[in-house]
A and B are shown apart, each in its own frame.
Chain A
Amino acid sequence: MSSRFFYQRLVQTVLTLVLLSMVVFGLARLSGDPVLIMAPPEATEAQLEEMRADYGLDRPLPVQYWRFISRVAQGDFGMSIKWNVPAVDIVIERFPATLLLATTSMIFGLLLALPVGIISAVKRDTWVDNFGKIVALTGQSMPTFWFGILLILVFAVYARMLPTSGYGTVYHLILPSITLGGFVAASIMRVTRSAMLDALESDYIRTARSKGVPEWRVIMVHAFKNGAIPILTITALQAATILRGAVVTETVFVWPGIGKIAVDAVYARDFPLVQASVLAMGGVFLVINLLVDFIYVYLDPRISYLKK
């Protein structure tokens, strides 16, 4: 990997993060006067002025942004207005729940997407392939919240097999994982299919077949290994996408992760918490994308991002 590419991508990511922090900063200012939300209703105008001065809100915007960003760099987003503890602590506390859900969803998504994608490629243009295509497109067209509610309806309300929502046991994890896993499975399935199609058409596959390698070995070893790079890439990218899906899924299933806390914070106008959670989610997404690019170049040295 050329070091120039490495540094270029690194600088790009840092720049994007800075821009994201500006958006997050602007978001809170868009709401009007944060002091009016924080102050007790009986506060006088003089007290409000004093609070504004305390928070530095009477200073010019660039100065305010600088104060904001230098605190954020030290992990200080301020106190959550609703919970009255540091916003960062809440985000850190809630992150494992989201990580757990994201992991099980990804496992479920892969278990669904990889076999279907491979079979679709092997049985190209048969009813299996077409069926897989229709399922993937339908899945991509379903609103996540509706799919989640339908699962609750079928498995919790009628079949009474699983809890409707909440957190705690393995059973609570199943329905949200299916919802979120289905959300990412469709793209992984499509990429797996086309990667496998590319691989299966290559010369080395013809060679393998002609020297009598069993067909399952041709597919699972020779073709899959060579198709693995795009599949790995889309899987890693979808791992980042899961964070977006988590916002809605966690709300539907009342899953106490970072997505749910962010939505609650928006409703409560708890801006420090909104800022911390949006920046955390965006940051994780950017870092994953950066790592994907590095891994991609490492795995396939033919790719050069510099040559454009």
Chain B
Amino acid sequence: MNLKSIRSSRLLEWRVAVPGFFLLTILFCALFADFIAPYHPTKQNLSMFLTPPNGDYWLGTDAFGRDILTRILYGGRVSLLVGMSSVALAMVIGVLLGITSAMMEGWVGEAIMRLTDLFLSLPAVLIALAVAATIGPSLLNVIFIIGLLYWAPFARMVRAEALSIRELDYVQAAYAIGCNPFRVLFLHILPNIINTVIVLATLQIAAAILLESTLSFLGVGVPPPTPTWGIMVADGRQYVELGWWTVTFPGMAIMLTVLSINLLGDALRDFLDPKFSRR
């Protein structure tokens, strides 16, 4: 191993370690918010309303006198839960449909691709907003809506990958010696796609968290009193002239979380999937 590749592998370790550590911290804080949060997340204390950041309230309080740091810690629960479970749902749907469309050429495959195009072209925020407003906002509904809106990138990518891998010599050889198509699929095609799927899933979690916070901001996400970062920004917006901290810190929590996931996704891409690496 020459010096340059040692340096770049060190760099890669850092690029995974820093965002990974930050995300683990957020995860830890969200899981154990009950023990580490300094105040109660929903109990109102009107005598302390809109207190600027100080020694007791590190990030200040909102218009109901609730501690912003506490609510950010609890808010991480919703973002991480929705982000991961909606993308898990999207991944299952997308991979299944992508594989199906690659294996079944003809009108089935074509129909799936048209459906994929449709979902890639939908104005996601608007559809999510309309559906959430119609069926009523709840944690489960938000997860299902985002999951059902975000499967298309998986389907498109899995199909493209499967089609190109299918043409490779060893897969053709497997067919030639009479392997059953399912054996070829599970033993030869899927293992070659899995890394790309992991990378895409990471980046999609970032997008899902952004969509979840947008829905919360628009008032159709997980309903109050559950603290979410999006609702905190929406609440703070009304008092933005009286207290900058009410919108700044929850938004920063969203940004740092999404940024860490994106950085992690980029590093994973270079590590797991070198052929797609951006220079």
Contact = CB atoms under 8 A, between A and B. Distances in A.
Interface residues of B, number: 43
Contacts of A197: 279
B237 interface: yes
Contacts of A174: none
B247 A23 contact: no
B218 interface: yes
B214 A149 contact: no
Interface stretch (A52-60, A68-76, A223-231, A278-286): A278-286
Interface stretch (B56-64, B83-91, B117-125): B117-125
Interface string B118-134: 10011111110111011
B118 A19 contact: yes
A145 B214 contact: yes
Contacts of B254: 142-143, 146
Interface string A280-294: 011001100100000
B248 interface: yes
B129 A266 contact: yes
A282 B123 contact: yes
B129 A263 contact: yes
B253 to A, nearest CB: 10
B262 interface: yes
A141 B133 contact: no
Contacts of B237: 149
B109 interface: no
B133 to A, nearest CB: 5
Nearest to A121: B279
Contact of B247 (A16, A153, A243, A277): A153
Contacts of A281: 123, 126
Interface string A251-291: 10000000100110011010000100110011001100100
A138 B259 contact: yes
Contacts, number: 122
Contacts of A192: none
- Interface size for chain A: under 10, 10 to 19, 20 to 34, or 35 or more residues? 35 or more
B240 A152 contact: yes
Contacts of B210: 141, 143
A210 interface: no
Nearest to B247: A149
Nearest to B122: A282
B240 A269 contact: no
A184 to B, nearest CB: 15
Contact of A20 (B118, B129, B262): B118
Contacts of B146: none
A149 B279 contact: no
Contacts of B244: 153
Interface in A21-72: 23, 27, 30-31
Contact of A137 (B115, B241, B263): B263
Contact of B233 (A149, A285, A286): A149
Contact of A30 (B131, B248, B255, B256): B131
B126 A267 contact: no
A233 interface: no
A267 B219 CA distance: 10
A141 B255 CA distance: 5
Interface string B232-252: 010001001100100110010
Nearest to B164: A308
A303 interface: no
A143 B131 CA distance: 21
Q: Which of A142, A157, A194 has the most CB of B within 10 A?
A: A142
B209 to A, nearest CB: 9
A193 B138 CA distance: 42
Contacts of B176: none
Given A19-B115, A153-B247, A144 B214 contact: yes
A66 to B, nearest CB: 20
Nearest to A15: B114
Contact of A146 (B126, B130, B247): B247
Nearest to A275: B130
B121 A20 contact: yes
A296 B279 CA distance: 23
Contacts of B199: none
B217 interface: yes
Given A27-B130, A190-B278, A282-B123, A141 B214 contact: no
B18 to A, nearest CB: 13
Interface in B158-182: 163
Contact of A141 (B135, B163, B233, B259): B259
B134 A31 contact: yes
Contacts of B126: 244, 247, 259, 262-263, 266, 277-278, 281
Interface of B: 114-115, 117-118, 121-127, 129-131, 133-135, 163, 206, 210, 213-214, 217-218, 230, 233, 237, 240-241, 244, 247-248, 251, 254-256, 258-259, 262-263, 266, 278-279
7 cross-chain pairs, A with B, having the tightest CB-CB distances, nearest first: A146-B251, A141-B259, A141-B258, A19-B118, A31-B134, A281-B123, A247-B125
12 contacts: A20-B122, A27-B127, A30-B131, A138-B255, A141-B206, A143-B230, A143-B255, A145-B214, A146-B251, A146-B254, A150-B248, A289-B121
Given A20-B121, A143-B258, A308-B163, 14 more contacts: A12-B117, A15-B114, A30-B134, A142-B258, A145-B233, A146-B251, A149-B240, A150-B248, A152-B240, A153-B247, A244-B126, A247-B125, A248-B125, A278-B130
